[in-house]
Structures are given as structure tokens and as C-alpha cells.
Amino acid sequence: MKKVYVIGTGDTKERELQYVKSMIEAAGVPAVFVDIGTRGSAKNADVTPAQVAAHHEKGTGAVLDLDDRGAAVGAMSEALCRFLATRDDIGGVIGLGGSGNTGLVTTGMRSLPIGLPKVMVSTIASGNVAPYVGPCDICMMYSVTDVAGINSISRAVLGNAAHAIVGMVERQVPAVASDRQQIGLTMFGVTTTCVDQVRAALEQDYECLVFHATGIGGQSMEKLVDSGFLSGVIDVTTTEVADLLVGGILPCTEDRFGAIARTRVPYVASVGALDMVNFWAKNTVPEAFRNRNLYMHNPQVTLMRTTPDENKRFGEWIAARLNLCGGPVRMLLPEKGVSAIDAEGKPFYDRGADEALFQALEANLQQTSDRKLVRLPHHINDKAFSDALAGAFREIAR
């Protein structure tokens, strides 16, 4: 049986880490205590800070000889990622601690494959955990009390976390044999019809993985592209770019489309939901945008219609990123609307704004035999447009 790696800073959390390790071993699963402290070492660690730090590209001194604690923690994070990559006996990983420990351990967790069990017990798990989880399947568990000693609360919480990782490791999800390649698709509520139709057209030949275009969804998809898990992408919904450039709540990163460029996988794109920027409830919309065309998607989410100038920026930005892609690329433009609420008679219908987006893409995308842009006289949710997306992917994925 593979082992559970119990990771944390032994200089401050040795008792708690040893408790979790003992609970895992009592359940019949072997465990390894990995100490990643930067200001001292636990007495009984299975792997010492020096052993982890030795995996840093500049050696142990680049981690443990630094006076700046923040720099030392950052260097230890890098070393931990490299250390974990050398191990072939990891069945799961569990960490515990406050913000510093959480940042350090989850950095290592994010370097591990999706599907490998990961549990992080943290004092900040009831807040915004997006910076720690990222595009990965990390299970965050709130510690309730601080991770500072074993008491009636921490004993139960840490024990439950130990048993949770044991269950994940012992009861592995059986693999299902498939001769279909996996491809990624991006979707928003306002492009669901399109994506469902594309999936129906391709799922006999491809395993279609759909990602919610919420910023982190696009990152998750591209992480799987970088890892080699996805062999192609139909990026119907590139709306995350709008939030990045205008200041919405669901932005992509500056590396959007980077995995496509790095891997050269077959790539079909469109401009789904680039007619909108996302904000939370209406009273949270920034003052500068209060007089814009706002639409309440639900009580928690407010959408803002994008302008021609903003759409022009989107087109230029996307074109510049796609020009870096050396693999087969197809950009398909739906001339009759880019979302369910961007159609004649709908709240975000604005042909001028859409045309600014289309023209910017046409003017800036460097078209070649492998990189092409096609305009189509359809709405994005029309079946004819979905058929064109599926057909374009089949053509370049041959």
C-alpha cells in the first residue's frame, strides 16, 4: 500500500502532525511525517527540513540559511514541489496549520496530479480559499480552533481529517478503460445550449470534459492541457478575458491560452459570453459602472454589458495570445449573438459591440494555414453553429 504523507512545519506543529500520523497508522495505513519547518526541525520527523530543502535548485542553503522568513517559506515551497516529484510511494497528502502552513503545503499539493487525495486542515478554510486550492482538487477542512495543541475540539477535527484521507487512500476510485481521447470544453449558463449540442455531436468519439468558465474553470482546463490529460480543446466560452480586462469577479490569468501555445493541441475557440462582465449582488457593482446596462442573473450575480471599446480590447488581447499558438487553431464567430441574452429582443443585444469584437479579432489574428478565423451567420446557441464547432474540431484533430 502507498503511504500518506503528513506535511507541516515540525518546529511549531510537531505534536499535531504526529497525532494525525498516529491516527492514520492506527487505521492500518502507513504514513510519513515530512517536516518543512524553516526555523528548526522536529525531533522525530521521517523526512527532515534539510532533506526537503536539498531539492531546491540552489541547494539547502537557499532555503534554510535565509534571514527573511517570507523568502525562506517561498523557497521551501519550491523545494517541496521538487521533493514530491521524486516520490513514487505517495498515496495521499494531508497538511495542517495556519495561513503560512496552508500556503506552503498547498503549493506542494497543487504540483501533484488531479485525483491523488489531498486534505488540508486550515484555520482559514472558512474564508476565500481560491488562492490555496487553485485549479486543483484540494479538500479544505476548517480547523475551528487554531492548530495549537491537542484539545477536545482539535482532537476531533484532526482525527476526522486523518480518517478522511485514510478512506480516500484505501477506497480508490476504480479506473474505467476507454479508448476515447479526452477533450475540454468551456461553458457558462448563457452558452449551455451550444456546449450541450457540441458534446452530443462528439461524445461518441471523445470523452468531453466541460469546465465552468469562472476564472478558475479555465485554469483547471489549461492545467489538464499542460499535464497531457486533454488532447484538444473547444473553448466556446472565453468570457473570463472580459473579467480580467475590465475588473470583474471571475477573471482568467494573464496566462490564458498559454497551455494551448505550449502544447500545440488542436484548438477551436469562440467568443461565448464576451458580452458580459460578472459582479456579485447589484449593490457590489463598482460606482463607475452603476449607470451601465446591468442584468441580474440571480440575486447573487449581476452581469454588465460590455461596450464596443471594451470588446475591441478583448479581441486584440485574445488575438495576441492566439498568435503565439503554433498548433492548429480555429476561431469561429457567431454573427447573431455571443450569449443567450445577446440576441434580438434580449437585454444585451448590441450588434455594434459584437462587431467591434469581431473586427478586432479579424484585424489582429495572424491567419495562416493552421490558424484561421471564420464568421458564421448564426447565434452561438444555434445548432448550426454548434455543428460548425464540432466539424472544425474533427477537421483539425485528424
- List, in order of start, the domains of the chain with CATH numbers: 3-170 (3.40.50.12020), 181-397 (3.40.50.12030)
Of the pLDDT bands very low, low, confident and very high (cuts 50, 70, 90), residue 77 is: very high
Helices 152-170 and 10-26: angle between axes, nearest 10 degrees: 60
Helix (H) and strand (E) counts in the chain: 14, 14
- CA-CA distances (angstroms) from residue 97 to 32, 211, 374, 379? 17, 31, 52, 50
Of the pLDDT bands very low, low, confident and very high (cuts 50, 70, 90), residue 192 is: very high
Q: What mean pLDDT do residues 145-162 have?
A: 96
% of the chain at pLDDT higher than 70: 100
The distance from CA 137 to its chain's CA centroid, rounded to whole angstroms, is 9
Q: What mean pLDDT do residues 69-80 have?
A: 95
Q: What mean pLDDT do residues 345-351 have?
A: 97
Dihedral pair phi/psi, residue 341, rounded to 5° = -105, 10
Q: Tell me which of 178 and 25 has the higher pLDDT.
A: 25
Q: What is the pTM of this model?
A: 0.86
- Helix (H) or strand (E) holding 370, with range, is none
Contact 122, 98 (CB under 8 A): yes
The distance from CA 75 to its chain's CA centroid, rounded to whole angstroms, is 23
- CA-CA distances (angstroms) from residue 386 to 63, 329, 351? 52, 17, 20
**Structure confidence at residue 232 (pLDDT):** 98
Q: What mean pLDDT do residues 118-137 have?
A: 95
% of the chain at pLDDT higher than 90: 95
Would you call 305 helix, strand, or coil by DSSP? Answer: strand
Residue 287: DSSP 8-state: G
- Most confident listed range (97-101, 129-133, 173-177, 362-366): 362-366
Q: What mean pLDDT do residues 123-130 have?
A: 93
Q: What mean pLDDT do residues 308-336 have?
A: 98
Residue 177: pLDDT over 90: no
**Structure confidence at residue 4 (pLDDT):** 98
Mean pLDDT, rounded, of the chain: 96
> In angstroms, rounded to a whole number, what is the distance separating the alpha carbons of residues 181 and 174?
18
Instruction: Return the CA Rg of the chain.
Output: 24
- For residue range 218-273, what is the model confidence (pLDDT) as tens digits? 999 999 999 999 999 999 999 999 999 999 999 999 999 999 999 999 999 999 99
Residue 176: pLDDT over 90: no
Residue 48: pLDDT over 80: yes
> In angstroms, rounded to a whole number, what is the distance separating the alpha carbons of residues 9 and 38?
8
Of the pLDDT bands very low, low, confident and very high (cuts 50, 70, 90), residue 175 is: confident
**Structure confidence at residue 1 (pLDDT):** 80
> In angstroms, rounded to a whole number, what is the distance separating the alpha carbons of residues 258 and 226?
9
**Structure confidence at residue 313 (pLDDT):** 98
Q: What mean pLDDT do residues 200-204 have?
A: 97
Of the pLDDT bands very low, low, confident and very high (cuts 50, 70, 90), residue 178 is: confident
- For residue range 1-12, what is the model confidence (pLDDT) as tens digits? 899 999 999 999
- Label the pairing between strands 276-279 and 301-305: antiparallel
Residue 398: DSSP 8-state: -
Write the DSSP assignment of 160-209 as a string of letters. Answer: HHHHHHHHHHHSPPPP----SEEEEEEE-GGGHHHHHHHHHHHTTTEEEE
Of the pLDDT bands very low, low, confident and very high (cuts 50, 70, 90), residue 398 is: confident
